[in-house]
Structure 1
Amino acid sequence: MRKLKRTGIYLFLVVVAIVSIFPFLWMIISSTNLSVDVTQGRMLPGSHFIDNFNKLTDSINLLPSMWNSLKIALSTTILALLVASLAGYGFEIYRSKAKDIVFNVLLLSMMIPFAALMVPLYQMFSKLSGTVPIIGINTIAAVILPTFTTAFLIFFFRQNTKMFPRELLEAGRMDGLSELGLFFRVYMPTMKTTYSAGAIITFMSSWNNYLWPLIVLQTPEKRTIPLLVSNLGSSYSPDFGMIMTAIVISTIPTALVFFLMQKQFVAGMVGSVK
């Protein structure tokens, strides 16, 4: 009976794995085929990846858009980790009733959909364009500033900080460290798995961000890779082989970040402190 139950569990996991992997496998196979093969549902690898790649580079500014996405994603990730970890650390280590109220209000902000904030955000950055052009419309800063940290990330750091050993802070104070010194020299090295998990979440979210960059980036040379991939499918007769090639290329950075930091991500998500 136990063997039968275990066999059933393994079969279920195999089916779930196949269902999860199939879209990625189909995407990679389609990138090696012609558009007509993709529409016909061909599931065998072809030999047209180089042709699709050449057509892609002739159609869009691939490298500049990848560079734009990389700049935005890296800047957003660094700022998000710094601000969210400082906030989470402060909310948990220096607790008070007033801070708890502020934190609860912060959590309530998660219930507001971003679509409701787009119009006031756009108006604000439009006004800044005339006074502070470097953070106005059609700038990378305009993409980063509204999204570089979230209530979820602050909540994530606060929850993981609950398991942070307070004895380390007391030892640091006895050694003469300032409060900022405790944060940068004691807290940050100890919570590296939490930072890794937060980095993966933020980087992937920023890299795949579509709606706000679509609104605020108005010239082709400033656009990110998701915007250009979306434009490829808006033509009258889209080339699906080329589109799949663009999607495969745009997926590589996030896939690399995840697989290189997979162990730290899992440890950070379960609240491990090392």
Structure 2
Amino acid sequence: MAKSKRFFMYLFLSIAAIVSIFPFLWMVVSSTNKSVDVTRGRLLPGTHLLDNFQKLLDTTDLQLSLINSAKISITTTLLALLIASLAGYGFEVFRSRSKDIVFNILLLSMMIPFAALMIPLYRMFGKISNVFPWMGIDTMTSVILPTVTTAFLIFFFRQSTKMFPKELLEAGRMDGLSELGIFLRIYLPTMKTTYAAGAIITFMSSWNNYLWPLIVLQTPQTKTMPLLISTLGSGYAPDYGMIMIAIVIGTIPTALVFFVMQKQFVAGMIGSVK
């Protein structure tokens, strides 16, 4: 009975794995075929990978879009981890009734859809453009600032901080460390799995961000990878082979980040739930 149960469990998991990975495999295979083969649903690898890649290089500024996405994603991730971890640490370690009220209000902000914030944000950055052009419309700063941290990330760090050994805090204070010193020398190294999980979540979200960059980035020199791919697909006769290889290239950074840090990601997520 146990063997049959295990057999059906592995069978179900295998089917689920195939269903999950099929879109990615189809995308990779399609990047090697001509556009007409992609539209026909060809599932066999072709011989046009280099041709599609060359057309992508000739048609678009791929390198610039990759650099723009990397700058925005890396900067957003670093700032988000710093701000969210400081906030989560402060909300949990220095708890009070007023701080709990502020934290609950912060969580309520997660219920506001981004579509309701787009127009006020655009008007705000439009006015900032007149005073600080480097922070205004069509700048990377205008993409980074609204997404530099989220209520979810602060909540994530606060929940993880609940598992942080309070004895280490007391030991640091007895040794004469300031609260900032305790945060930098004790908290930060101890919570590295939480930082890894937060980094993966933030980097993937920032790299794949499409709606706000579409609104605020208005010149070809500031386009990110999602905007580049969207542009390729909006033509009168889109080249699907070229689009597929662009999607594959755009997927590689997030896949690498996840696979390199997947163990820390799982450990960090489990630690935040306990």
- After TM superposition, the structure 1 = structure 2 runs for residues 51-130 of structure 1, keeping only pairs within 5 Å, are 51-130=51-130
C-alpha distance in 2, partners of 1:181/1:113?
Answer: 37
C-alpha distance in 2, partners of 1:104/1:264?
Answer: 28
C-alpha distance in 1, partners of 2:203/2:193?
Answer: 15
**What's the counterpart of residue 26 of structure 1?**
26
CA deviations over 1:62-121 (Å, ceiling 9, x no partner): 000100000000000000000000000000010001000000000000000001000000
**What's the counterpart of residue 251 of structure 2?**
251
C-alpha distance in 1, partners of 2:178/2:144?
Answer: 31
Task: Give the CA deviation at 1:3.
Answer: 1.3
- After TM superposition, the structure 1 = structure 2 runs for residues 102-181 of structure 1, keeping only pairs within 5 Å, are 102-181=102-181
C-alpha distance in 1, partners of 2:154/2:231?
Answer: 34
Task: Give the CA deviation at 1:177.
Answer: 0.5
C-alpha distance in 1, partners of 2:176/2:47?
Answer: 65
Task: Give the CA deviation at 1:47.
Answer: 1.3
CA deviations over 1:139-194 (Å, ceiling 9, x no partner): 10000000010000000000000000010011111111001000011000000000
**What's the counterpart of residue 234 of structure 1?**
234
- After TM superposition, the structure 1 = structure 2 runs for residues 38-49 of structure 1, keeping only pairs within 5 Å, are 38-49=38-49
C-alpha distance in 1, partners of 2:181/2:3?
Answer: 55
- Matched residue type, 1:250: G
CA deviations over 1:192-242 (Å, ceiling 9, x no partner): 000000000000000000000000011100110100100101111111100
Structure 2 counterpart SS, 1:141:
helix
**What's the counterpart of residue 222 of structure 2?**
222
- Matched residue type, 1:218: Q
Q: What do you get for the CA RMSD once the two structures are aligned?
A: 1.0
C-alpha distance in 2, partners of 1:190/1:222?
Answer: 38
CA deviations over 1:19-65 (Å, ceiling 9, x no partner): 00000000000001111111111111111111000000111110001
**What's the counterpart of residue 193 of structure 2?**
193
TM-score (norm 2): 0.98
Runs (4+) of structure 1 exceeding 3 A deviation are none
- Matched residue type, 2:58: D
Consecutive unaligned residues of structure 2, counting only runs of 5 or more, are none
Paired residue total = 273
C-alpha distance in 2, partners of 1:69/1:10?
Answer: 39
- Matched residue type, 2:251: T
**What's the counterpart of residue 37 of structure 1?**
37
C-alpha distance in 1, partners of 2:220/2:68?
Answer: 11
C-alpha distance in 1, partners of 2:222/2:234?
Answer: 19
The percent of aligned pairs where both chains have the same amino acid is 74
Consecutive unaligned residues of structure 1, counting only runs of 5 or more, are none
